[in-house]
Structure 1
Amino acid sequence: MISFNFSKLFAAATVALSLLAAPVAAVADDNPSAVLDQIRASGVLKAPVMVGEEPGYIKDPATGQWSGFYVEFLTEIATELGVKLQPVETTWGNLAADFQSNKIDIAIGVNPNPKRGLVVDYLWEPLFTDAWAVLTPVGKPVKTWAELNDPSKTVVVQKGSTMQIVAEALLPKAKITPVEDRGLALMELQSGRTDAVLLSIFDALQVSEKKIGEVSLPEPILRNPATLAVARKPGNAGYINFLTNWIEQQRSLGQAQGKLARAWEARGIDLSILPKGFSF
């Protein structure tokens, strides 16, 4: 009678299967278009959208539809890929987790962030560049960052954002108060509980049009690159190459600048606070 050692047979089969699967996995990892293929197969481009982040993201309360210049950019990218844009409501502080859980395929208008950089790949060519500003109570502008770097000063930032990193680096003596979103930050300013809210200059100007605070562009002026980000995963090289070329075209043909100028003009945003020669 022939006897079988099933444990040895099972082990041998497992090894054989792993040897067969390894080249397949390697091929998948080496395919630079793997991520592009996944997005196209899904039929949607999942992108984050934020409440209270006008004019980049604008939500119609009646219909729930999203618009704004960031949404316009994202829709164009989705169209180029032959898919539809799928908005995913979130916050800046949740982007890294959203990428890791595959909730989003792309983020736009983000700043290079060391912590997020552990799981996210940033495109180094920015879509546009603005600067960091502060929104202060009316009649209390600041000329330099040093004026806010004082234990008696409270500065509000959005939690987990690049704004928080900037504030902690520049204003170590001040009290930094992180909040979840821009709406909560503005409530802190309107209630008199803070001396400044740190925002990008274009966002600050947008808010000031609603008569909420006064905009200051403190010295030294810190430029703020707004770029694109994707999840760091095997097979995203082709996706990054596609997006890099898209950004280059947007900037070199003036398309990005034109969209932004129209968005700010439509909102009545006065850009005269920007220094002479400032180019976004």
Structure 2
Amino acid sequence: MSFFGNILRACALGAAVAVAAWSPATAQENPSAVIDEIRASGELKIPVMVGEEPGYIKDPSTGTWSGFYVDFLTDVANELGVKVTPVETTWGNLAADFQANKIDVAIGVNPNPKRGLVVDYLWEPIFTDAWGVFSPKGKPVATWAELNTPEKTVVVQKGSTMQIVAEALLPKAKITVVEDRNLAIMELQAGRADAMIQSIFDVLQISKQVNGEVSVPEPMLRNPATLAVARKPGNAGFINFLTNWIQQQRSLGLAQGRLAKSWEDRGIDLSILPSNFSF
């Protein structure tokens, strides 16, 4: 065989090897694989949390779940033609739940670098919140600097974004970490904490149950409430579907209307929010 013939033969063999190596990988990259799995299972597994009203509300007599977060994800499930299956958990356990395939999608989460190692966040938020502070009656908090002293104790929930906020902004304060919102309220009521950090909408909810001060300290920290899915092959189509769903919810005012009605139904006065804040 000629020199040029050998070259052509080598090129042909190289191309064949490349095709053989490329074809199986390409065949496995089905962007709708996660959607197909959810539809095949007939259920959309969602996280639900005790003490997180009005986003998650558990009926103690029946054990059924409602709330605006549940309503949102029920809409998603209906679009996919499946039912919603609630999985009781906490904010701090979401990453582990995704890795264990216990949940398919979470809502109302904040981008978190550590959790972002195993979770894909959607960059379009379903709404925008802000970080607020709940403190004893007569002791409002005008600025974050007021809490950043060794004499102040601030309570936050374990593994939450509010813990990151506290550790970043209040390095001089004592930070008390608890498992859930109810325990945080107990710390405040017992006089063991000077303030608790929550999203402003959660602070408004707490103020309906406990007498205290609602504050949005300056500088205002906006808080995107987005969706998250497990990072795994085949979730690109699921992310695209959810992004389109979010954009429709926001652009048509569906998300804003549902949220406002949910809070008003529970007697929460939104007029306390700063004039420069919108969700």
Alignment of 1:27 with 2:23, yes or no, is no
Structure 2 residue matching 1:209: 3-state secondary structure: helix
What's 2:208 paired with?
209
Instruction: Indicate how the Cα distance of structure 1 residues 174 and 66 shifts in structure 2: closer, same or farther if over 3 A, else same.
Output: same
Q: Equivalent pairs: percent with the same residue?
A: 79
Paired with 2:271 and 2:210, the residues of 1 have a C-alpha distance of 17
What's 2:217 paired with?
218
What one-letter code is carried by the residue in structure 2 that aligns with 1:201? I
What one-letter code is carried by the residue in structure 2 that aligns with 1:208? S
What one-letter code is carried by the residue in structure 1 that aligns with 2:191? G
Compute the displacement of 1:213 (Å). Answer: 2.4
Compute the displacement of 1:25 (Å). Answer: 5.8
Paired with 2:237 and 2:148, the residues of 1 have a C-alpha distance of 44
Deviations 1:176-219 (A, max 9, x none): 11111101101101111000110000000011011342111100
Compute the displacement of 1:130 (Å). Answer: 1.1
Residues 260-275 of structure 1 correspond to what in structure 2 (within 5 A)?
Answer: 260-275=259-274
Paired with 1:138 and 1:213, the residues of 2 have a C-alpha distance of 4
* Consecutive unaligned residues in structure 2, runs of 5 or more: 1-19
What's 2:55 paired with?
56
Instruction: Indicate how the Cα distance of structure 1 residues 243 and 194 shifts in structure 2: closer, same or farther if over 3 A, else same.
Output: same
What one-letter code is carried by the residue in structure 2 that aligns with 1:27? A
Answer with 270-279 or 246-255: which moved more: 270-279
Paired with 1:65 and 1:114, the residues of 2 have a C-alpha distance of 33
Compute the displacement of 1:263 (Å). Answer: 0.3
Deviations 1:103-154 (A, max 9, x none): 0000000000111000000000000001000110111111000000001111
Paired with 1:182 and 1:211, the residues of 2 have a C-alpha distance of 12
Contact 1:189 1:213 in 2 (8 A): no
Q: Give runs of ≥4 in structure 1 deviating > 4 Å.
A: 20-26
Alignment of 1:279 with 2:278, yes or no, is yes
What one-letter code is carried by the residue in structure 2 that aligns with 1:129? T
Paired with 2:31 and 2:223, the residues of 1 have a C-alpha distance of 30
What's 2:165 paired with?
166
Paired with 2:211 and 2:181, the residues of 1 have a C-alpha distance of 12
What's 2:118 paired with?
119
Answer with 266-275 or 224-233: which moved more: 266-275
Paired with 1:195 and 1:276, the residues of 2 have a C-alpha distance of 26
Contact 1:190 1:212 in 2 (8 A): no
What's 2:41 paired with?
42
* Consecutive unaligned residues in structure 1, runs of 5 or more: 1-19
Residues 157-196 of structure 1 correspond to what in structure 2 (within 5 A)?
Answer: 157-196=156-195
Deviations 1:70-110 (A, max 9, x none): 00001000000000000000000000000000000000000
Paired with 1:134 and 1:112, the residues of 2 have a C-alpha distance of 20
Instruction: Indicate how the Cα distance of structure 1 residues 51 and 21 shifts in structure 2: closer, same or farther if over 3 A, else same.
Output: farther
Instruction: Indicate how the Cα distance of structure 1 residues 277 and 143 shifts in structure 2: closer, same or farther if over 3 A, else same.
Output: closer
Paired with 2:220 and 2:241, the residues of 1 have a C-alpha distance of 32
Paired with 1:274 and 1:166, the residues of 2 have a C-alpha distance of 20
Residues 118-137 of structure 1 correspond to what in structure 2 (within 5 A)?
Answer: 118-137=117-136
Paired with 1:266 and 1:49, the residues of 2 have a C-alpha distance of 20
What's 1:236 paired with?
235
Compute the displacement of 1:27 (Å). Answer: 2.1
| RMSD after superposition | 1.4
Deviations 1:41-61 (A, max 9, x none): 000000000000000000000
Compute the displacement of 1:277 (Å). Answer: 3.7
TM-score if structure 2 supplies the norm length? 0.91
Structure 1 residue matching 2:63: 3-state secondary structure: coil
Structure 1 residue matching 2:167: 3-state secondary structure: helix
Number of residues of Structure 1 aligned to a counterpart in Structure 2? 260
What's 1:92 paired with?
91
What's 1:11 paired with?
none
What's 1:106 paired with?
105
TM-score if structure 1 supplies the norm length? 0.90
Contact 1:163 1:199 in 2 (8 A): yes
Paired with 2:25 and 2:48, the residues of 1 have a C-alpha distance of 34
Compute the displacement of 1:223 (Å). Answer: 0.5
What's 1:7 paired with?
none
Residues 144-159 of structure 1 correspond to what in structure 2 (within 5 A)?
Answer: 144-159=143-158
